[in-house]
Structure 1
Amino acid sequence: MFNGIFYFFLLFGLTTVSSAQDHRLSAIAMREDFQFIREQVFNVHANPFSQLTKQKYNAYFDSLETGLNQPLAVADFQRKVSLALIPLGDEHAAISIRNAKAQKKTPSWADSVATNLSYQRLGTIGYLFARSFATRSSQDLAVYERCIDSLFTLIRRDSVTRLVIDVSRNEGGASAVGTMIIKHIFHKPYKSYSMSWKRSEAYLAKLSSWGFHDEMYQKALPGELLQFPATTVVPGQVANPFKGKVIVIIGPQTFSSAIMFATLVQDNKMALLAGESPVKGHPTHFGEMYSTLLPNSQLEVRFGVKEWIRPAGRGNVNKLVPDLPCKLPTNKDLPLLVKQLQW
């Protein structure tokens, strides 16, 4: 009797899993989701026509939608529909499956903010490694500030006259962390990013659900771009700021707010950048993520509602280029690179 019950539940369980994996979306359901994406992208994204005109982007959407004529599994639809976001030029944009159990859990740097920054002395040079600016909440910013203050106390104690700040593997997080570092190495007013913010009913609803109210945003018309020009930032005062030479190392993995930090450094001539250009990220980019679910597939679509423009303005090539290009070595050879930098 027990074996029979066990066999029944085993068979039922396997059937359930198999059915979930084999679930297919009809052509009608996929096209409804596809139209929903088009409406969201055109009405909510910060600048959907930065690379294609509206007419050409519509034609691109139409060409993709034509191929949605046969039922597809959700994962297959996700791969196909993700192509719709490519013309945005938004490095944060993505369409993903919202099933945490089905996805491999990756470690989060936000779980160990106190270890995301480290310092060591390499001869007469100080080396500050900023692995990540990740946070779980605004409360983590206080932890970062204490860590940065403590590390610069060590830097002063070591009496180093040259300092390397390494963000070559930093994929971003809170831009405020980069600002905390800047106030220890640069003591003059500097120019910030400028920003444009797309007004939409969808994002206004998100803000309201979070309990956030911005009167200027609420009063703007749907589709209006709110413009925020670059401002002059006066660094916060710190006791005994670092006054020696600084070089910031960037690399292929540098991304998001780590790129913003390096861009502020370069555009305001705070220090030289060394290393390699980031692969994915750009100095001028989209940010402040908006996300919503597609009605039928329940895939999550996310993209930016703000466009951040670097202090130097829009250039011909939107790329962070090091002042001192060099191939980044492995960690083992890093001390040699640090000592060989063109100070």
Structure 2
Amino acid sequence: MIRSITSLVLTSSLLFSAAACAQQPATETSITAPQLAADITDWREWLFATHPDPSFSMDVDAVNARFDAISASLSGDYSPREAWYALSVMNPLFNDGHVAIRTPNADYDAYLASGGADFVLPVDWTGGRLLVGAAIAPDSAFSAGDEILTINGLAAGDIAARIFARTHGDSDGLRRYLLETRFSAYLWGVTGGAREWTVTAMDSDGHQYSHQIEPARDHGESHADNWSLTFADSVAILSVNTFAPDLEETFNAFLEPAFAEIAERGASHLIIDISRNGGGAHMLSDALFAYITTQRYTPLSAVTARITPENQARIPGSEIGQVVSLPFAQWVEPPAELENRFNGETVILVGPGTYSQAIVMAATAQDFNIAPIAGPGTEGRANSTGQVQVHTLEHSGLEAAAPIYIFIRPNGDTSGAPVQPDIPLTGTREEQIDALIARMTNG
């Protein structure tokens, strides 16, 4: 998943103009309307020449109509952020977390470096209302569940609606999750940011109060750890929040002592929590699978691929630019012997934040009966796109993302359904884990 903003599309007339939120760099690239229109043409041509089958997730006619409407509406000059604001209303139409227009990470980093403030207050977006999130710090002046009315004097519900209209993702549930977890970057994208944030909120009794956000006081629960291991009596809880390929070596270095400790403590039950795992590479999920199964498996049964110089050798007789669909298994044989392999009861917990390779792992575990899947299910499709390509637009510097693969889950189901849980659970992540612990230990 990508940290930078990848969301919606509106014309320049819908941009925020409140001075209270303006926080632009002293010098910034200016993009003319004809230049931005040229970027749209480039983006559209690249997208349809890269994606193996856009109709897999999107209404192609609606996408082309929106491209045309945006191009026709452009006028005046744009900063890169304003260009993103104008173009990003395309994002929900793609219905895929791997297809988007986004700002480079460096743009938000530059905003922070120039004195812009992070919005560290956790938020929930529910029923059109922006609420203080459950992860709020215990000593904060804000309380979880209170409604956020304004942010620097601007209607918070309106800000969140504008963000939601520009957020990418397979479903509304995934877009909501991204809005909540990336709110600060999106807030900068739709308002231009600020040097400080003042929030007016209302409690359940209707009392309104205002406070300036203080990072040291209001920063909510951190999910920054890539992975962790905790215990509740006989239950080990292994949280794996990323399968990022550049972390393969450190992940393997974590797994070995983690499973040694699980064995040493005599844990008979294991919860693998990938509810916040946005994906990565199969090498990491394969390494994790090796500790819980000897079952031979394949993460996919078929593939649709755009042929590129990088993958052409895998499909003999193919031509660059061609799209092919064919049965395609990638069988994995876990090692027969592995020290401290876990042989007890394993359950895999998923949620709205489970995406990409993490979804592939969940579907594989389910289809090969390696472990049951618990939680509310995924918000992304079980059949995922992958191998995301990034194309930088010439004038705006915005980044277009699109995949070159469509993967079909191991059982061959070609529907657009998410991963459905074998053990349905609701509530917060902590409540779901508590429910699993009770279920596993009480029989």
Q: TM range, normalised to the smaller chain?
A: 0.7 to 0.9
Judge conservation of contact 1:91–1:285 (CA < 8 Å) in 2: no
TM-aligned CA distance change 1:232 to 1:97, over 3 Å: closer
Aligned residue-pair number: 304
Q: Which residue of 1 aligns with 2:362?
A: 262
Q: Does 1:253 align with 2:259?
A: no
Deviations 1:152-191 (A, max 9, x none): 2222222222211111222223332111111111112223
Query: What is the letter of the counterpart of residue 288 of structure 2?
Result: I
Structure index of larger Rg: 1
Q: Deviation digits for residues 208-256 of structure 1, max 9, x if unmatched?
A: xxxxx85356963243124451243322231353222111111222222
TM-score (norm 1): 0.77
SS in 1 for 2:390: strand
Q: 2:339 aligns with which of 229, 239, 248?
A: 239
Deviates more, 1:296-305 or 1:142-151: 142-151
1:251 touches 1:278 (CA, 8 Å); kept in 2? yes
In the TM superposition, 1:1-343 aligns within 5 A as: 17-20=25-28, 23-52=29-58, 54-55=60-61, 57-98=63-104, 99-100=106-107, 101-104=109-112, 116-135=226-245, 137=246, 140-193=247-300, 194-200=302-308, 204=309, 207=310, 214-216=312-314, 220-226=318-324, 227=326, 229-237=328-336, 238-239=338-339, 241-279=341-379, 281-329=380-428, 331=430, 336-341=434-439
SS of the residue aligned with 2:399? strand
What is the CA distance between 1:45 and its match in structure 2? 1.5
Structure with the bigger percentage of helix: 1
AA aligned opposite 1:259: I
What's the CA shift string for 1:75-130, capped at 9, x where partnerless?
22212222334443321223223344435599xxxxxxxx6333233222222222
What is the rounded CA distance, in whole Å, between the counterparts of 1:89 and 1:218 in structure 2? 32
| AA partner of residue 290 (structure 2) | K
Cα pair distance change 1:282/1:44, threshold 3 Å: same
Contact 1:117/1:132, CA 8 A, preserved across alignment: yes
- Counterpart secondary structure, 1:313: coil
C-alpha change, 1:172 and 1:155, in structure 2 (3 Å) is same
Tell me if the contact between 2:393 and 2:400 (Cα under 8 Å) persists in the aligned partners: yes
Q: Is the 8 A contact 1:46 1:197 kept in 2?
A: yes
How large is the RMSD of aligned CA atoms in angstroms?
Answer: 3.0
Q: Is the 8 A contact 2:33 2:77 kept in 1?
A: yes
| Structure 2: stretches of 5+ with no match in the other structure | 1-23, 119-224
- Secondary structure of 2:275's match? coil
Q: Which moved more, 1:156-165 or 1:38-47?
A: 156-165
Deviation, 1:36, is 0.4
CA–CA distance in 1 between the matches of 2:239 and 2:412? 28
Question: For residue 378 of structure 2, what is the amino acid of its counterpart?
Answer: P
1:40 Cα deviation from its structure 2 partner: 0.3
Task: Give the 3-state SS of the residue equivalent to 2:303 in structure 1.
Answer: strand
Secondary structure of 1:191's aligned partner: coil
